[in-house]
Amino acid sequence: DTAVSQTPKYLVTQMGNDKSIKCEQNLGHDTMYWYKQDSKKFLKIMFSYNNKELIINETVPNRFSPKSPDKAHLNLHINSLELGDSAVYFCASSQVEATDTQYFGPGTRLTVL
Amino acid sequence: QKEVEQNSGPLSVPEGAIASLNCTYSDRGSQSFFWYRQYSGKSPELIMFIYSNGDKEDGRFTAQLNKASQYVSLLIRDSQPSDSATYLCAVTPSGGSYIPTFGRGTSLIVHP
């Protein structure tokens, strides 16, 4: 069974478009995350979300917004896509404790033309 | 700003050798330390975690933590070509946060 899944795996779109990436986890975890991994492989946290709070990395443009319909899902909406948004986006989940492992989805490679 | 530093490499070792990967962190109160492996085009997967000073062994992998010197390392014994990947160090900071900070990763190449 897939623990953390993301769709789509690849996303190619034009500048200015709005797109969404979906994420689902079946691990029963309390917390989900979105990470961006750039071309230099640097993995940077974008959002952390559980049923109590949303933590936003202040460097993330407000064109990015997480939406969680329920505990098992955290989708990422991106408005007015820019060239610099091209990257691999990973969803992850964990329990809320600091000692807990993060489980990553397979990633979505976003290319903005 | 809390930082996690790794040498980007690549670190090249012959098959059968010991690969030593290092990571330093700036937040002295950091709580938990993780090593993730990421193959090219794949997602990170956990190899080991360590919370206390000293060594922790799991098969061919040993994590070493020295909180006084603020570094954590990963040793891979009997390195195999299948170990070739990028290794990411992640540190959970002090202050009750559960969100880890990742280093930029070290690329390891194990050549036959």
Beta-carbon contacts of A64 under 8 Å, excluding residues fewer than 6 positions away, are A46, A47, A76, A77, A78, A79
Confidence of residue A109 (pLDDT cuts 50, 70, 90): very high
* DSSP code at position B80: -
Inter-chain touch B46–A102, beta carbons under 8 Å: yes
Cβ contact (<8 Å) for A104 and B100?
Answer: no
**Rounded to an integer, what distance in angstroms lies between the CA atom of residue A63 and that of residue A75?**
14
Tell me what pLDDT residue A101 has.
84
Q: Which of B43, B51, B89, B102 to mutate to test the interface with A (most CBs of A within 10 A)?
A: B43
- Asked if B31 and A98 come within 8 Å (Cβ–Cβ), the reply is yes
Burial of A71 (0-12, 13-18, 19+ CB in 10 A): middle
Whether the Cβ atoms of residue B55 and residue B72 lie closer than 8 Å to each other? no
User: What is the mean predicted confidence (pLDDT) over A55-65?
Assistant: 86
Q: What is the per-residue pLDDT across A66-97, written as a single tens digit (0 to 9) for each?
A: 998 888 999 999 999 999 999 999 999 988 66
Query: In chain B, which among 16-45 make CB contacts under 8 A with chain A?
Result: 31-32, 34, 38, 42-45
Query: Which of B44, B86, B97 lies closest to A104 in CB terms?
Result: B44
Per residue in A20-40, pLDDT (tens digit) is: 999 999 999 988 999 999 988
